[in-house]
Amino acid sequence: MDLTKLTITQAKQGLKNKEFSATELTEVFLAQIEKREKDMHAYLTVTDDLALAQAEKIDEKIAAGEEIGDLAGIPCAIKDIILLEGIKCTAGSKILENYIAPYDATVIQKLKKAGAIFLGKTNMDEFAMGSSTENSAFGPTRNPRDLQRVPGGSSGGSAAAVAAEECVFSLGSDTGGSIRQPASFCGVVGLKPTYGAVSRYGLMAMASSLDQIGPFAKNVADCKKVFDVIKGKDLKDSTSADFPQTTNYKLQTTNLKIGLPKEYFSQGIDPEVEKLVKQAIKKLADAGAEVKEINLPHTEYALACYYIIMPSEVSANLARYDGIKYGTSAISDKRFATSDLLDVYLKTRGHYFGAEPRRRIMLGTYTLSAGYYDAYYLKAQKVRTKVLQDFQKAFEQVDVILTPTSPTPAFKIGEKVDDPIKMYLSDIYTVPINLAGVPALSLSCGKIGNLPVGLQIIGKHFSEDLIFQVAGMCEELLRRP
């Protein structure tokens, strides 16, 4: 039996039946990491000692006949922007190269309580800024489906680790598509929950009104299991919400209404991507679902709106990394012999931040500055309201909206790195969802050669259960010839 191929359900059953121990399962994944990381670079830190100590405790519980939770003994990986106490947390940046997390994020506390085992911290675009994981200060992650291509970003390491069977599930964060786009490129399942459904306490902030933590997994059922553990209100995060009690209502394809936004199937999409997504939708229609074309008219402004709001929040959130309050300081670097305070700020931020964070900080500072605030930031917030209203209007007619996750499959490493605009367009189908705060899931609906293509399922606020049911139907239908 190849233990690296197990789903959460299969691993849990194997542990309960004592077919293998949590320690054996963990050792297999640590060996897999050692074997594959030479090519992949999905991990920034591997926490062998922590993982084996956690596994030993789970084995003791099983031996004592204690009941264990769904995630007990299940090896996972965590994006290196989420705090895991006592472990380095770099956010993919040189400015935090030696920062040790002083406490656990709420999602980590919940996973610890559920008995999950932490294999390590995964690579990412610096401070979650990017669509390819090429912006990591510690080098790019490679896509396990094709090592010459990117895994997507910014949570590329987390998606690649699941796809390469270097963990059973992982956590990422999604500000404009950073879970769904890597899930699409790597051929795994990734959920961006409703804004506020999962606590952001212990997540280093990029853009506070857009960021959300979510899971990557091998299949829809596993993704739901992880989400059920990490969701819920947290007193330490005032933006988190009580997740509504869900019903056991079982959806049938015959009473499912699907919306296809015509704005998502237009110029710019790879014809092969469009073909595979439409084939998946046709399978749902053949099974009895009603499919209708809808309009999301403000979609065309979403990317421009996002690239005003997000950098504005970035400029505020990253102000703390100045070498005095947080971060590596130019004072301690012999190359920058200076004691002038302003000089410390300038040299610290100029040297230890990468090109993309500097670009976004400057954009955001400009749009928030006197004389430009009304023309840019305020106007973008008004457009954001229009984007949300488009979704609200659409959900009066349909249950879910189906779209491609990304307009193309994974592109080659280096292909877009020198053209920020081209890179930003990778998120054109995912950004509106973050602006509206609604949930969306990406699952693989086919391949172009060996490159996966993602189908995005969007629902109204707090409709994750419905999304999981529709995704489960898609998964089942796509398995059939």
Q: Which domains does the chain have, with CATH numbers?
A: 1-481 (3.90.1300.10)
Residue 397 pLDDT > 70 = yes
Cα 164 to Cα 167: distance, rounded to the nearest angstrom:
8
Residue 250 pLDDT > 80 = no
Is 233 marked active-site?
Answer: no
Which of the residues 131, 132, 173, 178 is marked catalytic?
A: 178
* Per-residue pLDDT at 335: 82
- Mean predicted confidence (pLDDT) in 109-135: 98
Residue 248 pLDDT > 90 = no
Task: Show the tokens assigned to 238.
Answer: 């005032």
* Per-residue pLDDT at 294: 98
* Per-residue pLDDT at 246: 66
* Per-residue pLDDT at 142: 98
How many Cα atoms sit within 13 Å of 295 on the Cβ side? 3
* Per-residue pLDDT at 421: 87
Which of the residues 12, 79, 110, 224 is marked catalytic?
A: 79
Cα 311 to Cα 357: distance, rounded to the nearest angstrom:
9
Q: What is the mean pLDDT of the chain?
A: 95
* Per-residue pLDDT at 164: 98
Is 178 marked active-site?
Answer: yes
Which of the residues 93, 131, 136, 154 is marked catalytic?
A: 154
Is 136 marked active-site?
Answer: no
**65 confidence band (pLDDT: 50, 70, 90):** very high
**What is the percent of the chain with per-residue pLDDT over 90, rounded to a whole number?**
88
